[in-house]
């Protein structure tokens, strides 16, 4: 939609789509959904299967005017809703914003787990945190600095795992670091799914999952600042519903 922005790359989509096909089976992948409007263009993929009840992904382009002039956004996001509530959910958000008048670019990145029961698997959360910390150490980046803005987000309605990172002022020099964070998350997801699948969920776990899904949806509609900005720029809620909103709540 805008040749000025080529990051995040389509390879991020392929990494996660390959992973989802491996976990759910290739037949789990739905046909790509494309939505377009005056100010946006979204491609949306979704996998639904036994391991991941819903794993959605979008590559979204937004062009809009604000007080500072034309603003362009290229946004990658994927959200996992596992079938087993003993398995944590995953969210990855990476994007680049370009302010044309100021010729200014900023890159943002958020990765985290989120609990799907009130009794999350502490070992899985620690495992994910240690993996992310390891990447930060390899690139001499401060995990504590990149983590400190994550808890105040109240991710997924206050159900974030608070094990990942969130920073909204990366620049292009940081792309190799973010690339490695993406590869780390893709590597960790099947390990977490495999280890947590061994825990059989109880009726209480499923009841709590339903409550958390309602909290997730309320947060997405009313509190998620990224969603609010995108909707204000002309992106319809149907985009977020297609890839990110929870599956139907079952009783």
Amino acid 102: pLDDT: 83
Q: Is the pLDDT of residue 3 over 60?
A: no
Q: Provide the strand spans (E) within the chain.
A: 33-36, 40-47, 52-66, 69-82, 89-99, 104-114, 165-170
Phi, psi at residue 116, to the nearest 5°?
-115, 5
Helix (H, G, I), strand (E, B) or coil at 61: strand
Asked if 7 contacts 107 with a C-beta cutoff of 8 angstroms, the reply is yes
251 or 35: whose pLDDT is higher? 35
Q: Go through the domains of the chain in sequence order and give each one's CATH number.
A: 10-243 (3.40.1500.10)
pLDDT at residue 73 above 60? yes
pTM for the structure as a whole: 0.95
Which among 89, 63, 95 has a CA at the least distance from the CA of 76?
Answer: 95
Q: pLDDT tens across 19-32, in order? A: 999 999 999 999 99
Distance CA 138, CA 177 (A): 9
When pLDDT is averaged across residues 77-100 and rounded to a whole number, the result is 96
pLDDT of residue 184: 98
Contact 180, 242 (CB under 8 A): no
> In the predicted model, what is the mean pLDDT of residues 140-165?
96
pLDDT at position 1: 43
143-152 long-range contacts (CB < 8 A, ≥24 apart) are: 150/110, 150/112
Question: Is the pLDDT at 215 greater than 70, yes or no?
Answer: yes
Over range 141-150, report the average pLDDT: 97
Residue 32 sits at the vertex; the CA angle it makes with 63 and 12, to the nearest 5 degrees, is 65
Decide if pLDDT at 189 tops 50: yes
- In angstroms, how far is CA 182 from the centroid of its own chain? 11
Mean pLDDT of the chain: 94
The kind and range of the H/E element at 194 are helix 175-197
CB 72 within 8 A of CB 4: yes
What is the 8-class DSSP label of residue 235? -
Q: Which residues pair with residue 29 across a beta bridge?
A: 47
Higher pLDDT: 239 or 64? It is 239
pLDDT confidence of residue 249: 59
């Amino acid at each position: 939609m805008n040749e000025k922005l080529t990051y995040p790359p389509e390879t991020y989509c392929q990494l996660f789509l390959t992973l989802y096909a491996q976990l759910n089976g290739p037949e789990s992948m739905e046909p790509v959904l494309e939505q377009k409007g005056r100010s946006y263009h979204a491609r949306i993929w979704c996998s639904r299967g036994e391991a991941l009840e819903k794993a959605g992904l979008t590559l979204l382009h937004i062009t809009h005017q604000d007080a500072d002039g034309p603003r362009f956004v290229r946004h990658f996001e994927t959200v996992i809703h596992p079938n087993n509530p003993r398995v944590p959910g995953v969210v990855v958000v990476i994007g680049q914003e370009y302010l044309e008048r100021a010729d200014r670019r900023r890159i943002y990145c958020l990765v985290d787990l989120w609990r799907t029961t009130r009794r999350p698997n502490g070992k899985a959360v620690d495992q994910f945190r240690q993996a992310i910390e390891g990447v930060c150490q390899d690139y001499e980046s401060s995990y504590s600095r990149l983590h400190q803005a994550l808890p105040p987000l109240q991710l997924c309605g206050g159900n974030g795992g608070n094990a990942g990172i969130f920073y909204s002022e990366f620049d292009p020099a940081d792309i190799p670091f973010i690339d490695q964070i993406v590869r780390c998350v893709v590597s960790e997801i099947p390990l977490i799914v495999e280890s947590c699948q061994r825990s059989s969920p109880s009726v209480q776990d499923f009841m709590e999952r339903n409550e958390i899904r309602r909290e997730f949806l309320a947060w997405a509609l009313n509190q998620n600042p990224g969603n609010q900005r995108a909707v204000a720029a002309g992106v319809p809620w149907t985009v977020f519903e297609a890839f990110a909103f929870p599956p139907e709540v079952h009783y």
